[in-house]
Structure 1
Amino acid sequence: MAIEPKTLRCVRLRWWIRARKTVELPSYKGSTLRGALGMALKHSCCAARQLPCEACLLRFSCLYVYLFETPLLGESPQDLRYRNAPHPFVLQIAMDGPLRLDPGALWSFDMTIIGRAVQWTPYLVMAAHRMGELGVGKGRGTFDLERVVSLDAQGNPWEEVYADGMLRLPEKALPLTEGTPREASAGNGTFTLRFLTPVRLVSQGNPVRVPEFSVLLATLLRRLENLHRFHGEEGGAFAVPFPDLMEKARSVSIVENRTRWFDWERYSHRQGRKMRLGGLVGEVVYGGDVRHFEPYLSAGRWVNVGKGTSFGLGRYEVRDDTKGE
Structure 2
Amino acid sequence: MTDFPLTLTRLRFECVAETPLRLGGVRAGNNLRGALVDVMRRATCPYSVPAVAGVSSVPDPEHVAICPVCWLVAANEKPGVERRGYVLTPPLYLPETLAPGQRFTFHLTLVGEAQRYLPYFVLAVPEMGSIGVGSKRGRFRLRRIVSETLNGIEEEVLAEGETVIHPPRYSITHADVMERVDRALQTWRGQGIRELNVVFLTPLRLVWNDHLVKTPDFAIFFARMLERLDELAIQFSGSERRPYEERIHLQDLALQVRMIENDTHWIEVASGSSRTGRPTWISGLIGTARYGAPIEVWRELLPWLIWGEMVQVGKDTVKGNGVFRLVI
With the length of structure 1 as denominator, give the TM-score of the two structures. Answer: 0.84
With the length of structure 2 as denominator, give the TM-score of the two structures. Answer: 0.83
1:272 match: secondary structure: coil
Correspondence for 1:3: none
**Is 1:50 the equivalent of 2:58?**
no
Correspondence for 2:22: 24
- Kept in 2: contact 1:95–1:197 (CA 8 A): no
Alpha-carbon deviations, 1:190-222, whole Å to 9, x = none?
Answer: 222111111111110101012211101100000
**Is 1:264 the equivalent of 2:262?**
no
Correspondence for 2:37: 38
Richer in helix (by share): 2
CA distance in 2, matches of 1:13, 1:37: 15
Alpha-carbon deviations, 1:130-188, whole Å to 9, x = none?
Answer: 2123222233223332210111215x561010121121122211115865987997523
**Aligned partner (choices 143, 146, 149) of residue 149 of structure 1:** 146
CA distance in 1, matches of 2:17, 2:215: 41
One-letter amino acid of the structure 2 residue matched with residue 50 of structure 1: P
**Is 1:296 the equivalent of 2:304?**
yes
Correspondence for 1:312: 320
After superposition, the Cα gap between the structure-2 partners of 1:319 and 1:299, relative to the gap in structure 1 and judged at 3 Å, is same
CA distance in 2, matches of 1:168, 1:295: 30
1:254 match: secondary structure: strand
Give the unaligned 5+ runs of structure 1.
1-5, 73-78, 321-325
**Within-5 A mapping of 1:218-229:** 218-229=223-234
**Aligned partner (choices 179, 192, 199) of residue 197 of structure 2:** 192
Aligned pairs, how many? 303
Comparing 287-296 with 88-97, which one deviates more in the overlay?
Answer: 88-97
RMSD: 2.7
- Kept in 1: contact 2:271–2:280 (CA 8 A): yes
One-letter amino acid of the structure 1 residue matched with residue 118 of structure 2: T
Give the unaligned 5+ runs of structure 2.
none
After superposition, the Cα gap between the structure-2 partners of 1:18 and 1:54, relative to the gap in structure 1 and judged at 3 Å, is same
- Kept in 2: contact 1:15–1:110 (CA 8 A): yes
1:15 match: secondary structure: strand
Comparing 38-47 with 283-292, which one deviates more in the overlay?
Answer: 283-292
Using the aligned pairs only, state the percent identity. Answer: 28
CA distance in 2, matches of 1:279, 1:257: 15
